[in-house]
Amino acid sequence: MQPELIPIGIFILVNLTALLIMGRDKQLSRQGGNPDRTPEGLMFFLGSVGGALGVYAGMHLFLHKTKKCYFQLGISLLILQNAARV
C-alpha cells in the first residue's frame, strides 16, 4: 500500500463508522428508552476527528438529530474544521 493513501483510508473509515453509528442510533431511538443509545458526545467526537461528513450524511439520510439546532450548527462547523486540517 502506498503511504500517501493511508490518511485517505483513515478518513473513509472514520466517516463510514460515523454514518453507521448514526443509523444504529436512529434505529435504537425508534425503540424508545433504549439504554444502549449512542451518546451525543461520541457523535461530536467522531465529527471532530474527521468524521463530520459521515455524521452529517447520517443526520440527513436517517433523519436523525436534524431538529436539534446544536447538531446542525455544530456538525456544520466541524465540517469546516475538518476541511481546514487538510
Q: In total, how many domains does the chain have?
A: 1
Task: Find the radius of gyration of the CA atoms of the chain.
Answer: 13
Region 18-27: mean pLDDT is 97
76 contacts: CB under 8 Å, gap ≥ 6: 56
Q: Is the pLDDT of residue 85 over 90?
A: no
Region 53-74: mean pLDDT is 96
Domain extent at residue 58: 3-84
For the entire predicted model, the pTM comes to 0.92
Mean pLDDT (the chain) is 94
Question: Which of 8 and 86 is assigned the larger pLDDT?
Answer: 8
Region 45-55: mean pLDDT is 97
Distance from chain centroid for Cα 78: 10
Per-residue confidence (pLDDT) for residue 1, from 0 to 100 = 66
